[in-house]
Structure 1
């Protein structure tokens, strides 16, 4: 008789994401303390509509906020910047690609961190390598 496999829950995904955050090098790490990390099963309808995405399974993560380079001391305080990771699309990609779950969460998280800093895709890849 084999043990029943259970899909990783939100707490597990959050632990993987926090471990990735802890590996982000300075000076980037110093600017992430105020960014909220939120793990949800799927993006809400408003987020999907804003991004023009019809299938919720297609969105693994999103950054909500203004990139650091666009902020000013004169900005009106709004909601804190947030990185959302979507558990079920991440798990779906994990199953489909066979990439290790910790590596996949790391990849998605670094991509969203990159949006926080307004990085290009090339710079995001460099940050991901540095945070390896």
Structure 2
């Protein structure tokens, strides 16, 4: 059974997940915003999160005057896969860390090896 919560409650969980990332890593995040969306894109209805941008490892001296990278966190799919509030907290944390890792150039393969499935 899916968990229900308001957008504000979900947003708070995303904020808490970001705050749990070590400050030394947060300080390295560059030109990136986090966007919470109610629904994932129609072409990928099971998506929990998405990194859209140029990872730090791929930026060079020509990287300037670009729009911020975006990390999307999708509320409906996260709530639909969880049976308890605690599961939502854990899944939001995993998703936020996973997408931040992509900003740093960490691949899905490496994330899976580290247990971030």
Shared fold (TM-score, shorter chain, > 0.5)? yes
SS of equivalent residue, structure 1 residue 84: strand
Indicate the structure with greater helix content: 1
**Which residue in the other structure is 2:27 paired with?**
30
Q: Are the structure 2 counterparts of residues 26 and 103 from structure 1 closer, same or farther at C-alpha, using a change threshold of 3 Å? A: same
Q: What CA RMSD, in Å, does the superposition of the two structures yield over aligned residues?
A: 2.7
SS of equivalent residue, structure 1 residue 28: helix
CA distance in 1, matches of 2:110, 2:18: 17
Q: 2:66 aligns with which of 78, 85, 91?
A: 78
Structure 1 residues not aligned, in runs of 5+: 1-5
Structure 2 residues not aligned, in runs of 5+: none
CA distance in 2, matches of 1:21, 1:120: 19
Q: TM-score, normalised by structure 1?
A: 0.71
Which structure has the larger Rg over C-alpha atoms? 1
CA distance in 1, matches of 2:5, 2:67: 29
Kindly report structure 1 stretches of 4+ aligned residues shifted beyond 3 Å.
Answer: 120-128
SS of equivalent residue, structure 2 residue 54: coil
Q: Are the structure 2 counterparts of residues 41 and 35 from structure 1 closer, same or farther at C-alpha, using a change threshold of 3 Å? A: same
